């Protein structure tokens, strides 16, 4: 098989593609750039995605596309002389990569017999387990663990060529068969031994129960005979006490009639009487009615006081409004002005007369006097006018304030009067309704006579109590009569006690008999138990023989495996030693492997070998790589690709060059994918093998990483 092209949306990959060539393909990329993702995608394209795995480490979760798109891949290969295109896509979220197709490249023709489950083995020639332990080599997985598939493939090459035999699986099957027959407290033999013991115990228990059952039957028969005898004796005594019982019943019937007549008379006298609940409510209502009457009286008094306050406030307001309508201050001012003008006119007239009559030397004096009189009288008149106006304004403001206050007082008095009237009306209405409701119960009591109504209610309650007592007495008498009628015939006390004890003993004995009978039925027929025990013992003998035969087969298988190991280990060790010598520049030339693939190695100068755990990390990785390459050479078809993911990281430069030289030699017959995060492999190959290898790049854009 040769891989030509791989495309995928897988983990960090988003429809990315790598193109491969025959021979050695060097794929250099830094860490976290997707090398391991490409390897995982190739493995999934060949063998499918394990969807049953759970957790973050499961491939379906670990390699879910970062872009959020559906997981898918396309693999183009050449196998069995055909160019094939393998496609795995996701059609359902719970089955990633679950849709599969295999076509001849460039056509729509499906490849017969190539299925999703068998794709990897069809193309590579080996199952998944062998592929992962031989053709797929990673730095973190150089060491090899044992696997039945790999064991079968190696064993087939060095023995008969059949690949359906594995010591591990055969040993496990035999071990399961041994455990199935006997393993600690489980297994068929242990189970049979417990069942045989249980059957023996059941047989012993059955014998004891049979004896106890016979004794229980005899006890029941004796008690049944004793019960019948006591019942006959008590029947004779019952006839003698019948007459006395009839007399007691007749006397009780007379007492019942008397109690019922008394009750009927009380009910007749209580005709039309309200029920107990109504009378009790009436008593409580009468007390409330007295309180309501007092509240009405208080409300009436409050109403009268409010009416008086309202009248006083209205009268005060009227008086103030009348005072406010008296002579106006403007009229007084005009009167004063006219008086002043008249005074000045009179003075002027007098001055004119004086001017006519007085001599000329007196004329100036007269005129000056007139002017002086005018100068004095006019300011005085004006000041008097201003003072009068100010006094009138102050008085007017006081009257206005008094009127405003009087109006407020009047409004408050009216509101209080309205509230008092409403309260009186509400209380009066409630009192009237309550009084009517109570006095309607007592039509013979005068309306408003609270004490008479209270006395009538008390008498009614007393009558109800008397009727209740009479009803209770009548009920007791009737109950006593019923008891006398239902009472059994008078029996002799000794016989009754003896019969009751006999019945109790009989019930106990019958219960014991039923219990023993049930246990006997549950145990089964003793003869059948014995037959079943004999069958179990025969089965035990057969299983014991099988157990011994399987144990002998395991011993024989272990011995045969040891012989096979003598051929298996040297063959694989010989191939591994040749490769290990090339990888270490001939320093190590001895490799030993156990059947469990435990590896040890030795140098050319030493006669002893060292376990891989005693070697340096680099040498141990080279040893494991040599073994993996040897296994690959033994179990894989010659044209099967080989994938190495950072497998040379721990090698020093010298041994890295030796490993690359070996891989270049191997690439002449196998396609090799060498993935590395280092640049030294490329430098060496460019120097030592120019033009003989292929460089593949898949550096991703930063936005996709």
| Model confidence band, residue 702 (pLDDT cutoffs 50, 70, 90) | very low
- Alpha carbon distance 231, 228 (integer Å): 5
- The answer to whether 44 touches 71, Cβ cutoff 8 Å, is no
Beta bridge partner(s), residue 647: none
**183: which DSSP letter?**
B
Nearest to 154 by CA among 593, 553, 458, 524: 593
- The answer to whether 590 touches 615, Cβ cutoff 8 Å, is no
29: pLDDT strictly greater than 90: no
Domain 1-125+637-705 and domain 276-440 have a common topology: no
Nearest to 49 by CA among 41, 82, 314: 41
pLDDT at residue 4, rounded to an integer: 94
Q: Which CATH number applies to 1-125+637-705?
A: 3.40.50.300
C-alpha triplet 380, 382, 386: angle, nearest 5°: 115
- Alpha carbon distance 696, 705 (integer Å): 18
Domain boundaries, the chain: 1-125+637-705, 243-273+454-488, 276-440
According to the per-residue pLDDT averaged within each range, which of 494-503, 507-516, 591-600 is highest? 507-516
The bridge status of strand 642-645 relative to strand 136-138 is parallel
Rg of the chain over all Cα atoms, to the nearest angstrom? 66
User: pLDDT of 311-327, one tens digit each?
Assistant: 888 888 888 878 766 55
- The answer to whether 166 touches 151, Cβ cutoff 8 Å, is yes
Beta bridge partner(s), residue 602: 590
Burial class of 135 by CB neighbour count within 10 A (0 to 12, 13 to 18, 19+): buried
Give the 3-state secondary structure percentages of the chain, helix then strand then coil, rounded to 5. 65, 10, 20
User: pLDDT of 222-280, one tens digit each?
Assistant: 888 888 888 887 777 666 666 677 788 888 889 999 988 898 888 887 777 888 888 88
- Alpha carbon distance 24, 358 (integer Å): 165
User: pLDDT of 516-563, one tens digit each?
Assistant: 888 877 877 777 778 888 888 888 787 777 767 767 766 665 655 555
- Helix 363-439 to helix 329-357 angle (10° resolution) is 170
- Alpha carbon distance 252, 477 (integer Å): 7
Beta bridge partner(s), residue 427: none
Cβ within 8 Å of residue 593, ≥6 positions away = 569, 572, 573, 576, 599, 600, 627
491: pLDDT strictly greater than 90: no
Nearest to 499 by CA among 223, 220, 218: 223
668 SS3 class? coil
Q: What is the maximum span of the chain, computed from C-alpha positions, in angstroms?
A: 192
- Alpha carbon distance 450, 412 (integer Å): 39
Q: Give me the sheet containing 136-138, strands edge to edge.
A: 136-138, 642-645, 672-676, 24-28, 694-696
The domain 276-440 is placed in CATH, from the list 1.10.10, 1.10.540, 2.70.98, 1.10.287, at 1.10.287
User: pLDDT of 46-91, one tens digit each?
Assistant: 999 887 777 777 888 889 999 889 999 999 999 988 999 999 999 9
Q: 558: part of which helix (H) or strand (E)?
A: helix 526-583
- The answer to whether 39 touches 13, Cβ cutoff 8 Å, is no
- The answer to whether 31 touches 705, Cβ cutoff 8 Å, is no
Kindly report the backbone phi and psi dihedral angles of residue 491, in degrees, each rounded to the nearest multiple of 5, phi listed first: -120, 155
Q: Is the pTM of this model over 0.85?
A: no
Of the listed ranges 28-42, 216-230, 320-334, 510-524, the least confidently predicted one is 320-334
C-alpha triplet 667, 668, 674: angle, nearest 5°: 10
Q: Could you give the percent of the chain with pLDDT greater than 90?
A: 18
- Alpha carbon distance 210, 529 (integer Å): 14
214: pLDDT strictly greater than 90: no
pLDDT at residue 159, rounded to an integer: 41
Q: Where are the alpha helices (DSSP H) in 182-275?
A: 188-240, 242-269
The bridge status of strand 588-593 relative to strand 13-19 is unpaired
- Alpha carbon distance 498, 394 (integer Å): 125
For the residues of 319-356, what is the DSSP string, one character each? HHHHHHTS--HHHHHHHHHHHHHHHHHHHHHHHHHHHH
- Alpha carbon distance 627, 665 (integer Å): 17
Give me the sign of the Cα torsion angle 45, 47, 53, 55.
negative
Kindly report the backbone phi and psi dihedral angles of residue 92, in degrees, each rounded to the nearest multiple of 5, phi listed first: -125, 140
- Alpha carbon distance 127, 148 (integer Å): 11
Cβ within 8 Å of residue 161, ≥6 positions away = none
Cβ within 8 Å of residue 681, ≥6 positions away = 26, 28, 648, 656, 660, 674
Strands (E), 421-467: none
Of the listed ranges 164-178, 471-485, 502-516, 682-696, the least confidently predicted one is 164-178
First to last CA, the chain: 31
| Model confidence band, residue 162 (pLDDT cutoffs 50, 70, 90) | very low
Q: Could you give the percent of the chain with pLDDT greater than 70?
A: 79
């Amino acid at each position: 098989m040769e891989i030509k092209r791989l495309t995928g949306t897988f983990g960090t990959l988003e429809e990315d593609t790598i193109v491969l060539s025959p021979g050695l393909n060097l794929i250099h990329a830094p860490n976290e750039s997707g090398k391991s993702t490409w390897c995982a995608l190739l493995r999934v394209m060949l063998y499918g995605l394990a969807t049953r795995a759970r957790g973050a480490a499961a491939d379906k979760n670990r390699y879910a596309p970062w872009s959020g798109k559906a997981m898918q891949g396309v693999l183009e290969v050449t196998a069995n002389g055909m160019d094939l295109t393998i496609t795995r896509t996701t059609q359902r979220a719970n089955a990633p990569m679950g849709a599969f197709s295999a076509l001849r490249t460039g056509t729509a023709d499906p490849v017969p017999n190539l299925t999703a489950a068998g794709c990897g083995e069809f193309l590579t020639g080996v199952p998944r387990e062998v592929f992962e332990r031989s053709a797929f080599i990673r730095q973190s997985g150089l060491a090899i663990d044992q696997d039945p598939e790999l064991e079968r493939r190696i064993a087939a090459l060095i023995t008969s060529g059949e690949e359906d035999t594995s010591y591990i699986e055969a040993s496990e099957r035999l071990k399961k068969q041994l455990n199935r027959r006997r393993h600690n407290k489980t297994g068929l033999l242990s189970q049979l031994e417990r069942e045989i013991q249980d059957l023996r115990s059941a047989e012993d228990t059955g014998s004891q129960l049979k004896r106890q059952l016979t004794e229980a039957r005899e006890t029941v028969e004796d008690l049944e005979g004793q019960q019948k005898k006591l019942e006959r004796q008590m029947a004779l005594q019952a006839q003698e006490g019948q007459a006395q019982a009839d007399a007691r019943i007749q006397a009780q019937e007379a007492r019942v009639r008397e109690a019922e007549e008394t009750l009927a008379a009380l009910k007749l006298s209580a005709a039309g009487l309200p029920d107990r609940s109504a009378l009790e409510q009436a008593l409580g209502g009468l007390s409330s009615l007295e309180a309501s009457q007092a509240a009405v009286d208080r409300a009436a008094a409050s109403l009268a006081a409010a009416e008086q306050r309202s009248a006083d406030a209205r009268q005060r307001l009227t008086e103030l409004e009348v005072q406010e309508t008296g002579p106006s201050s403007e009229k007084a001012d005009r009167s004063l002005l006219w008086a002043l003008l008249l005074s000045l006119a009179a003075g002027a007239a007098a001055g004119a007369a004086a001017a006519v009559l007085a001599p000329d030397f007196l004329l100036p004096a007269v005129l000056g006097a007139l002017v002086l009189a005018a100068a004095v009288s006019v300011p005085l008149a004006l000041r008097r006018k201003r003072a009068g106006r100010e006094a009138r304004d102050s008085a007017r403001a006081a009257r206005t304030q008094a009127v405003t206050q009087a109006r407020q007082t009047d409004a408050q008095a009216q509101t209080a009067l309205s509230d008092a009237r409403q309260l009186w009306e509400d209380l009066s209405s409630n009192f009237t309704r309550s009084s009517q409701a109570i006095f309607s119960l007592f039509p013979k009591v005068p309306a408003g006579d609270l004490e008479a109504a209270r006395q009538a209610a008390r008498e009614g309650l007393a009558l109800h109590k008397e009727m209740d007592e009479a009803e209770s007495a009548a009920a007791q008498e009737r109950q006593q009569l019923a008891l006398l009628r239902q009472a059994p015939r008078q029996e002799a006390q000794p016989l009754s006690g003896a019969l009751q004890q006999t019945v109790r003993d009989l019930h106990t004995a019958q219960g014991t008999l039923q219990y023993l009978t049930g246990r006997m039925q549950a145990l089964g027929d003793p003869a059948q138990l014995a037959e079943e025990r004999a069958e179990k013992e025969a089965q035990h003998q057969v299983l014991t023989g099988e157990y011994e035969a399987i144990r002998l087969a395991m011993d024989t298988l272990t011995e045969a495996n040891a012989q096979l190991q003598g051929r298996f280990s040297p063959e694989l060790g010989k191939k591994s030693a040749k490769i290990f010598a090339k990888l270490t520049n001939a320093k190590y030339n001895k490799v030993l492997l156990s059947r469990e693939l435990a590896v040890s190695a030795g140098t050319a100068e030493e006669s002893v070998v060292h376990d891989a755990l005693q070697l340096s990390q680099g040498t141990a990785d080279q040893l494991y790589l040599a073994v993996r390459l040897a296994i690959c050479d033994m179990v894989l078809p010659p044209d099967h690709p080989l994938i190495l993911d950072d497998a040379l990281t721990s090698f020093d430069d010298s041994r890295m060059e030796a490993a690359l030289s070996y891989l270049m030699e191997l690439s002449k017959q196998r396609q090799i994918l060498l993935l590395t995060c280092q640049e030294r492999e490329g430098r060496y190959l460019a120097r030592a093998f120019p033009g003989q290898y292929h460089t593949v790049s898949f550096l991703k854009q930063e936005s996709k990483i």
